[in-house]
Structure 1
Amino acid sequence: MVEYLKAHIRRIRYITGVASVILMVLSGIALGAKGLNLGLDFTGGMVTEVQVDNQISHNQLVKLLTPELGERVSVRQSNEEGRWVISYAIPPQGETAPNIPQILSKVSHQVDVVSTSMVGSQVGQDLVDQGGLALLISMLSILAYLCFRFEWRLASGSLLALAHDVILVLGFFAATQMEFNLTVFAAILAILGYSLNDSIIIADRIRELLVAKQRCSTPEINDQAVISTFSRTMVTSGTTLLTISALWIMGGDALQGFAAAMFIGVLSGTWSSISIGTVLPEWLHLEAKHYLPVEIDTAP
């Protein structure tokens, strides 16, 4: 694998770079055409916790409740057997609220409503505003850090790689119309930190090689940097993806969106740090002289 990588690394970097640009465009189209399917955390709605017969499954509840409560109904199991949390949209003005016990009585002998609460639309709008502000502050902080640590040509590659990872995750949720809720938003913030770490490892290696091997061209330096960090990247990303896969498979519906976002973000973050993080500085003509001390003319 390493020998193949040495022989074809530049082609791999350029091909994945083009693929990343295409995926970003497609994600932007999906976002513009469909938008995000915002969950009740952002749009507001009703949350009802019920106790039913223990043998009732999740699929039975979803199949029964969807025609009555709409496609946006969400059902997740609580911390006790037979107890479920049902989230659904607030009925339009003038319509009566759905009778949850009556609906569930078709499949369960015991139906007890433990609690019912409402998340208002104003609360949902506040969450949208605060979430957007948190994402903006995170991106600006990362931008400031990258500009402080690296020369702007090298920093721009890492920054675009971060934007690429977030756009791909948002594009996936727009294309599939999976519910975008607070747990998915938390995953996006986690992806920013993970992808940044991966990009910094490669960028730091590029900076070291630029100074150590000044006669080498920038594409050669980037090839060597990717190869020297490849094993570390694969081990880190591989173990992380295994953990996320287990969470996706065994975590249930409550964590499905979080696990899906993390899986896509980690996967795209791995290849974007190799492709975008190295190709963009080449296009911006990064050279060794940008990291060499500036000679000061001391002549009188």
Structure 2
Amino acid sequence: MVNTLKKNIRKIRYLTSYVSVALMVISLVALGFKGLNMGLDFTGGMVTEVKVDSSLTNKDLLKALSPELGESAGVTHSGEEGRWVIRYSIPEQGQETPDIKASLETISHNVDIVSNSMVGSQVGDDLVDQGGLALLISMLTILGYLCFRFEWRLASGSLLALLHDVVLVLGFFAATQMEFNLTVFAAILAILGYSLNDSIIIADRIRELLVAKQTTPTPDINDQAVIATFSRTMVTSGTTLITVAALWIMGGSALQGFATAMFIGILSGTWSSISIGTVLPEWLKLEPKHYLPVEVDTAP
């Protein structure tokens, strides 16, 4: 029974590693041809805060505003009953300024424009630069930690698993053209930490088994490490997915991008830690001797 389970685990590891490589290629192609549909946080746009009848919902406002503002318009609750923040693109030169008040008066008895401001393209460019810098610093910090904690062959598997998770999320948003905004970017940074935790647990178990069972082949060591941590991984991923699902269902459009990115990142982070995180060190010929103390020749 144990040998059968080990063989199945190995098949799963190898199969998911090929699937991961294929998905990474597809994601990179989608990014190259379609690119990301940047939200107003990055491209700039208009932000209008309004106060309407408290009985109206997000869907009611979007239905009334879409003919005037287009499908890219976003409506989020402002914290107070009947108060909403509307985000939409800046009208192109020659186009008329949208009359938000007139559009909302068709569904609300009282419409008050609380504030109206513009997010310039320069601010959006700064956010892109700062976001890219934050992602780069995060990856470099993680790389430094992995190199310090593990031998480079084992660390490379965890690092590639992290890159895999980020690329898959970006590829999904490029393929579906869902809006990529600051909340989605925050989800990507959260995915890095989540996936790293999963990879470290498995890698740490592999390191322990390499030292304890020096005559056992590395593929068998990896199988044992995955089996030993599998129940913990499933419980952790399952409970996290339940939380994300609640955000997805109850959070509305404001958290839809965040929840979607987290859902994909948690799923990919779970299987990439098992597949890429263990298969790549095997390809790089990881052996027990890499974690044994180096004998020093004291002879004169």
Give the TM bin, normalised by the shorter chain: over 0.9
Q: Which residue of 1 aligns with 2:298?
A: 298
3-state SS of 1:117 partner = strand
Q: Which residue of 1 aligns with 2:259?
A: 259
- 1 CA distance for matches of 2:111 and 2:296? 82
- Structure 1 residues 197 and 100: CA distance shift in structure 2, 3 A: same
Aligned identity (percent) is 78
Instruction: Indicate yes or no: 2:96 matched with 1:90.
Output: no
Instruction: Indicate yes or no: 2:6 matched with 1:6.
Output: yes
Give runs of aligned pairs for residues 33-72 of structure 1, distance below 5 A: 33-72=33-72
Scaled by the length of structure 1, what TM-score is found?
A: 0.96
Q: Which residue of 2 aligns with 1:229?
A: 229
Alignment deviations for residues 124-177 of structure 1 (CA, whole Å, 9 cap, x no partner): 000000000000010011111111111111000000000000001111111111
- Structure 1 residues 3 and 46: CA distance shift in structure 2, 3 A: farther
Q: Which residue of 2 aligns with 1:238?
A: 238
- 1 CA distance for matches of 2:34 and 2:5? 39
Alignment deviations for residues 233-256 of structure 1 (CA, whole Å, 9 cap, x no partner): 111111111111111111111111
Instruction: Indicate yes or no: 2:126 matched with 1:126.
Output: yes
- Structure 1 residues 5 and 178: CA distance shift in structure 2, 3 A: farther
Decide which moves more: 155-164 or 112-121: 112-121
- 2 CA distance for matches of 1:26 and 1:33? 11
Alignment deviations for residues 216-239 of structure 1 (CA, whole Å, 9 cap, x no partner): 101000000000011111111111
Q: Which residue of 1 aligns with 2:193?
A: 193
Q: AA paired with 2:23?
A: L
Q: Which residue of 2 aligns with 1:111?
A: 111
Tell me the CA shift for residue 7 of structure 1: 4.2
Q: Which residue of 2 aligns with 1:167?
A: 167
- 1 CA distance for matches of 2:169 and 2:271? 14
Tell me the CA shift for residue 6 of structure 1: 3.4
Alignment deviations for residues 65-91 of structure 1 (CA, whole Å, 9 cap, x no partner): 222112211112221222221100111
Tell me the CA shift for residue 4 of structure 1: 6.7
- 2 CA distance for matches of 1:154 and 1:197? 14
Q: AA paired with 2:290?
A: H
- 1 CA distance for matches of 2:269 and 2:3? 23
Alignment deviations for residues 33-69 of structure 1 (CA, whole Å, 9 cap, x no partner): 1111111110000011111223333223222222211
Count of aligned positions: 300
Q: AA paired with 1:241?
A: L
Q: AA paired with 1:219?
A: P
Q: AA paired with 2:88?
A: Y
Q: AA paired with 1:236?
A: T
Q: AA paired with 2:249?
A: I
Alignment deviations for residues 4-35 of structure 1 (CA, whole Å, 9 cap, x no partner): 74341000000111111111111111111111
- 2 CA distance for matches of 1:258 and 1:111? 30
3-state SS of 2:19 partner = helix
- 1 CA distance for matches of 2:297 and 2:259? 57
Tell me the CA shift for residue 111 of structure 1: 1.2
3-state SS of 2:269 partner = helix
Please tell me the root mean square deviation across aligned C-alpha atoms, in Å: 1.5
Unaligned runs of 5+ in 1: none
- 2 CA distance for matches of 1:109 and 1:91? 27
Tell me the CA shift for residue 298 of structure 1: 1.8
- 2 CA distance for matches of 1:5 and 1:184? 38
Unaligned runs of 5+ in 2: none
3-state SS of 1:54 partner = coil
- Large movers: runs of 4+ above 6 Å: 1-4
Alignment deviations for residues 168-193 of structure 1 (CA, whole Å, 9 cap, x no partner): 11111111111111111111101101
- 1 CA distance for matches of 2:153 and 2:7? 26
Q: AA paired with 1:70?
A: G
Alignment deviations for residues 238-297 of structure 1 (CA, whole Å, 9 cap, x no partner): 111111111111111111111111111111101100000000000011111111111112
